[in-house]
Amino acid sequence: MHSNRAIVCALVIAALGTTLALGTAWGARADIEIDSLRGLGSVYLIVQSPNADLVGAGFDKDAVKASIQRKLEGAGIKVVSNSNDLKDDDAILLIAVSTVKDDTGHFACSIDEQLIQVTSLARDSKTLVPATTWTSGIVAMVDGKEIKYLQERIDKLVDEFITDYKSVNLPISGETKTT
């Protein structure tokens, strides 16, 4: 039988391998990802429910969601509170926190941020499908006594999104942004 520590190590190694394999998904943003934010309307924010161990260590999903919403709205990005209020130019911003706790109280964490928009297929523009058009994320090891570190990492990911959003939506020094 494998110990929790061995399982956590295996998951971290797998996550790091995935991160290296995805390269552009969790690294330098491709122009097409940033361009997909142009003209974005509102976002519906989802913070995925964390596991019971993480909640028990002090992770408060509602507080994290409220903090993200304040950051987005402070940057001029409207957040809708009901998915039924989404319009064609809106999207879903998903923050997914996945963790595994080892027997020493440490968590192996993966934090994924995705913007999901309705888009059409290149081969059939009448067929609309949901698609992840922008993504970022991190993997980390966190001491169970320092769960606040996860909030800091989530804030950095949200800041990346805001920076990319502003780069294609807000004028810089009174100039209109063009491509």
Distances (CA, A) of 104 to 4, 141, 149: 9, 12, 17
Structural domain of 136: 4-169
In a domain, 175, yes or no: no
In a domain, 118, yes or no: yes
In a domain, 131, yes or no: yes
Spatial separation of the C-alpha atoms in residues 149 and 75, rounded to whole Å? 22
Closest CA to 87 of 131, 117, 123: 117
Closest CA to 105 of 151, 153, 139, 146: 146
Question: What's the sign of the alpha-carbon dihedral 7, 18, 157, 82?
Answer: negative
pTM of the model: 0.78
pLDDT of residue 109: 92
pLDDT of residue 172: 55
Closest CA to 91 of 160, 37, 170, 167: 37
pLDDT, one tens digit per residue, over 21-54 is 443 344 457 889 999 999 998 999 999 978 899 9
Total domains in the fold of the chain = 1
Specify the CATH number for the domain of residue 35: 3.40.50
Q: Rg of the chain's alpha carbons, rounded to an integer?
A: 18
Closest CA to 68 of 96, 26, 110: 96
Structure letter (DSSP) for residue 84: G
Spatial separation of the C-alpha atoms in residues 78 and 64, rounded to whole Å? 17
pLDDT, one tens digit per residue, over 83-138 is 888 888 899 999 999 999 988 989 999 999 999 999 988 999 999 899 999 999 99
In a domain, 94, yes or no: yes
In a domain, 179, yes or no: no
CB atoms within 10 A of CB 125: 9
In a domain, 177, yes or no: no
In a domain, 178, yes or no: no
In a domain, 54, yes or no: yes
Whether 14 contacts 124, CB under 8 Å: no
